[in-house]
Chain A
Amino acid sequence: MKVRVDQDKCQGHNRCYSLAPELFDVDDFGTAKELNDGVVPPGLEDKARLAVANCPEYAIELIED
């Protein structure tokens, strides 16, 4: 499973970062970026889904294997 942030859609709500800091980081301007090329380590799949389901801008894509 992978996650991908569309940085053009991201407006810095920081929901992904606060729900899944293992998977996302944000810069000083709030723009999110996936960590580790977006690869979701085993056991963090639910956190990845949670981050996707809480993005107000629909900016995170979940890519299932």
Chain B
Amino acid sequence: MAGIHPPVTDWATDFDHTDPVWAADPYPIWADIRASGCPVAHSERYGGVWLPTRHEDVSAIAYDTDHFTSQSVVVSEGRPMMPAPQGIAPPISSDPPFHHGARRLLLPAFSPKAVAVLEPFTRQYCNELLDAVEGKELVDGAVDYAQHIPVQVIAKMLGFPPEAADTFRMFVHNALEGVDLPVEKRIENFGLLDAYLRAQVDDHIANPRDDLTTFLLNAEMDGEPLNPEHVGGTIALLLIAGIDTTWSAIGASLWHLAKTPADRERLAAEPELLPFAVEEFLRAYAPVTMARLVKDDFEFNGCPMKANEWVLLPFPAANRDPEVFDNPDEVVIDRVENRHAAFGLGIHRCAGSNLARMEMQVAIEVWMDRFGDRFTLADPESVTWSGGQVRGPRQLPITVN
């Protein structure tokens, strides 16, 4: 994809989260900024963007809904067209007080008990994916496996046709990885998503059924039905937010195991460690960096933030802060103390975190049941990572036997 930004030469003053260097390995960039005298970096790109790198600063900004708005959480050249407090994709784009009700509507559908109901389906689907590559020596952990799992699960929850998986992934790619495109192109891409969702919503209005789409169409907030922008925005959020994030987390976990024989062998021998390993993969390879916009000119820890500048919230950087985590760059699959922020902090904690954890756990378990410790990275050089605010392996060739 041809971007519109020149390569970064100075990461302290001109960083760009869509630069290929960041995509390939952002951890040294964050570590350098964190250790510098100025742990909140600034770049003139995207109309101004700030980058906190310490856990303390990332959490302070995540908690501060007075000075920072969630109206848009994806950094781009443009600025949000939908006004606060609802924003374009509630509740992720919403601010208090609207946020509270919009979020409470969704949470029960993603509670541990609701998610547990989806586990057998997820397990069966993961097994089908591996059945489809049976006999092959080379399996792509991202292309053949990880990328399909969250798409299938969210399509089932929303009541969308499962065969539209490739279409969903295109929308996700456009929304999250297409941020380095001109504004007109982004608007055109969102138009495609909008038209697709409208057709699904119309179908659900004509044929109501027991799924999240019908639930949202019938839902009420403060005694009133949701406005059409709210319904459409939330459906878009559910479709987009859970897909490449979880795909990235599953892929990064498999990448780590495929390149780390000691952890692979230990997890194969001690499967009861899996829940701890999943948390450690989430900490060390957290896929998601969120963003906020500065509401009004405001000084944060000595940084003169201007209204309408972006603030990236790199939860993966917070997760590597030595002030909070012992040996943060080491992956310890049975780490005992692990207050990682992979799903964010504060009122916008990822509403789908229970679902994502279930999918990760099942995906890794099914993979390990199938291959034991008999899989290894085919060629470290051919692994590619997505850039932007969701980072994970997009090509992950693994030799299995």
Contacts and interface: CB of A to CB of B under 8 A. Distances in A.
Contact of B336 (A11, A28, A53): A53
Contacts, number: 47
A11 B345 CA distance: 8
A5 to B, nearest CB: 15
B340 A30 contact: no
For the side of the interface on B, what is the size category?
A: 20 to 34
A37 interface: no
B22 to A, nearest CB: 24
A8 B107 CA distance: 17
Contacts of A26: 111-112
Nearest to A50: B336
Nearest to B112: A14
B124 to A, nearest CB: 23
A13 interface: yes
A57 B349 CA distance: 10
Contact of A53 (B107, B108, B338): B338
B353 interface: yes
Nearest to B346: A11
Interface residues of A, number: 17
- Tell me the dominant secondary structure on chain A's binding face: loop
A55 interface: yes
Interface in B299-354: 336-341, 343, 345-347, 349, 353-354
A29 B345 CA distance: 16
Contacts of B104: 29
A53 B111 contact: no
Contacts of A30: 107, 111, 354
A53 B340 CA distance: 10
A65 to B, nearest CB: 22
A56 B336 contact: no
B112 A54 contact: no
A12 B279 CA distance: 16
Contact of B340 (A17, A18, A29, A56): A56
A58 to B, nearest CB: 7
